[in-house]
Amino acid sequence: MAFTIEDLRLPRRMFLKRAAVVGAAVPMAGGLIAAACSDGSGGAEAAAQVAIKTTTPGPDGSGGGAQVTATATQTETAELADWEKIDHDHAKGIELFLENIKSPLTRGKGNVELAPRMENGVKVWDLTCDELEWETVPGGFEKGRGYNNMISGPILRGVEGDRVRIHVKNNLKESTSTHWHGLLIPNNMDGVGILTQPEIKPGESFTYEFSLRNAGTHMYHAHHNSMDQVNRGLLGAFIVEPASGPRYQVAKEYVLVMNDSSLGYTINGKGFPATDVLTAKKGEKILIRWMNEGLMNHPMHLHGLPMQVMAIDGYPLPAPYLCDTIDVAPGNRYDTLVDCTEEGLWAFHCHILSHAESPAGFFGLTTVLAITA
């Protein structure tokens, strides 16, 4: 049976001991991702519902990360052995992730492309720096800072040779500035508060204007109290295509901005199970643009398929290479292509496993590449 996104489902009750065992399955090409049967007694259905709060480990390993709240029966929580509790929590996280594919589990979506307006041949964007409550995982709200009230900030996209103008309005309670990471621009537009420009004080604005000289995958982010401001979400992607036309011919493009520390481990402002799935049809080629705005290295590992590394920091490699794990250091950007040759749900996660999985299941820097027929 061919696997389709519509097949994604998991049961509400999983790995119950004695009272019942789950009855459902996820069809896959050549097999099942999960299967079980029920004894039909209905005992678990009648059990009182209680809330389980699963705390994801914080970046320092202290367990101070965000909480994911799920419901379970008293039978589940009272009678599960340690290994069964681990199984149960892993399954619940995957169930939530699959639910998130069909309907978002969290409020707020970042990394949305922002179209410019044209003023006398200049591409113009308006950005605001905002304080916000950002939901990184279901029920887990953090005090974030974002451009245009989103984390990651809006994707800006231009072409080599474009003249661009970006108005930045500071709605924060402290000063800021915006740095254009990787772009070749005049020094007075580089965006380092006090060093290259006056800091943008609360309530004030600053206008950046320059020409796009180098194609590639770039970023923008705060560069004033940046340890706090960037790690709380003041960051975004700036994509510049070559003047000759798009560098890659692909079916889909994904822009994945990683962060850690203040908001936990996130991809585009969300941690598993709220991370977005990557989807493709069998036979398609997709482009993944990786960016690391955090404080830690994140070796991202794709199960089942290789990635072809085409460019680093916007600069094409003379000899692209294949790998299944790409170590994205803070500040780095990588362009990778994936030939989607195998159907299935392929785990995609940081292989510093304390950033992605614990006894409570997957969290943080984890997503899935779903390849369908």
Same-domain status, 143 and 213: yes
Of 45, 73, 102, which marks where a domain is finished?
A: 102
- Evaluate whether residue 179 is within a structural domain: yes
Same-domain status, 231 and 264: no
Q: What is the per-residue pLDDT across 259-308, written as a single tens digit (0 to 9) for each?
A: 999 999 999 999 999 999 999 999 999 999 999 999 999 999 999 999 99
Same-domain status, 237 and 256: no
- Evaluate whether residue 108 is within a structural domain: no
- Whole-structure pTM value: 0.83
Q: 181: domain CATH number?
A: 2.60.40.420
- Evaluate whether residue 16 is within a structural domain: yes
Same-domain status, 134 and 231: yes
Same-domain status, 235 and 279: no
pLDDT of res. 27? 30
How much is the mean pLDDT over the chain? Answer: 85
pLDDT of res. 2? 54
Residue 110 dihedral angles phi and psi, to the nearest 5°: -110, -170
Q: Can you list the alpha helix ranges (DSSP code H) found in the chain?
A: 43-46, 74-79, 82-102, 226-229
Q: Where in the sequence is the domain holding 321, given as residue range(s)?
A: 252-372
Same-domain status, 37 and 90: yes
pLDDT of res. 34? 33
The answer to whether the Cα torsion of 156, 334, 300, 286 is positive or negative is: positive
Of 38, 67, 102, which marks where a domain is finished?
A: 102
Same-domain status, 11 and 63: yes
pLDDT of res. 57? 53
Q: Which tokens belong to 265?
A: 């481990």
pLDDT of res. 369? 98
- Evaluate whether residue 346 is within a structural domain: yes
Of 183, 206, 241, which marks where a domain is finished?
A: 241
Query: How many CA atoms lie less than 13 Å away from 210 in the CB half-sphere?
Result: 16
Same-domain status, 138 and 235: yes
- Evaluate whether residue 110 is within a structural domain: no
Same-domain status, 264 and 365: yes
Number of domains in the chain: 3
- Evaluate whether residue 221 is within a structural domain: yes
Same-domain status, 148 and 57: no
- Evaluate whether residue 218 is within a structural domain: yes
Could you give the CA distance from residue 254 to residue 287 in angstroms, rounded to a whole number?
A: 6
Q: Which residues of 182-214 are buried (b: 16+ CB within 10 A; e: fewer)?
A: bbebeeebbbebeeebebbeeeeebebebebee
Same-domain status, 162 and 234: yes
Could you give the CA distance from residue 174 to residue 178 in angstroms, rounded to a whole number?
A: 13
Q: Which residues of the chain have pLDDT under 70?
A: 1-78
Same-domain status, 67 and 124: no
- Evaluate whether residue 294 is within a structural domain: yes
